[in-house]
Chain A
């Protein structure tokens, strides 16, 4: 079985002029096909490849632009994240400062309000004491005056019953002597 191709190859070498024929190739057809291929190649290069290349270039440019935009967005996101982090850090610091300041202010306000309340209470106590002293003084004065009235009234009542004609004469004579 293996002897047949070798035999055929040897026969082909012997008749190289008919090799193309042996292979079944027709020169005219081959040339025609070559020309047609070249024309086709020309047409493709003239009309199709530029359009395809243009589309591919545009697509590539779009992809590159999108990639670039994505990179920029990523960078922007990272930058924004950094800024947010910084802002958060600053905000935490500010908040801590505000809280500390508020604590100080509230403590100061509380202290001031306590002092004010204390002063007010002291003033109220002082006013009350002054008022009490005044009322005590007025009461003492009223008591004194009432006692004086009582004494004079009692004296008048007693004297009115005690004075006799002799006493009255004596009083008048004493008064006359005093005037003289």
Chain B
């Protein structure tokens, strides 16, 4: 049976392997096998989040971008530049999601940071701030 490693060690190892260029698919398989073996599959969400943190500390940022409509190339470049300027990252990976519920604008989720400029968010703010 595999030794029980701390989540910090696991995420640090995986982040290093990703930076070193190890195929992500292979790393995912290793992680899945290890979590199943040690019966820690419930920690997968936390591990993914920690990996994102580890990568961001190494200059690689995984950003989740949500918008109502598909982003244009120029907009995508502007978002990437914004993320680099904000986090100081050397590489930015965007995961784009289309959600009509946000109505307009963009929501950017970074490890430990969120920028929400969507119309849905503004309406929610309006509703909560002015509600008596």
A interface, CB within 8 angstroms of B: 141, 144-145, 148-149, 152, 155-156, 159-160, 163, 165, 167-169, 171-173, 175-176, 178-180
Contacts and interface: CB of A to CB of B under 8 A. Distances in A.
A148 B79 CA distance: 32
Interface stretch (B3-11, B17-25, B45-53, B103-111): B103-111
Contacts, number: 70
Interface in B94-129: 100, 103-106, 115, 117, 119-120, 123-124, 126-127
Specify the main secondary structure of chain A where it touches its partner.
Answer: helix
Contact of A169 (B75, B117, B120, B130): B75
A179 B115 contact: yes
Contacts of A163: 68-69, 103-104, 119
A160 B103 CA distance: 5
Given A159-B119, A167-B104, A180 B85 contact: yes
B90 to A, nearest CB: 19
B79 A145 contact: no
B131 interface: yes
B100 A168 contact: no
Given A179-B86, A180-B82, A156 B120 contact: yes
Q: Which 6 A-B pairs have the closest CB atoms?
A: A175-B117, A163-B104, A152-B123, A141-B132, A171-B105, A172-B106
Given A145-B131, A148-B130, A156 B119 contact: yes
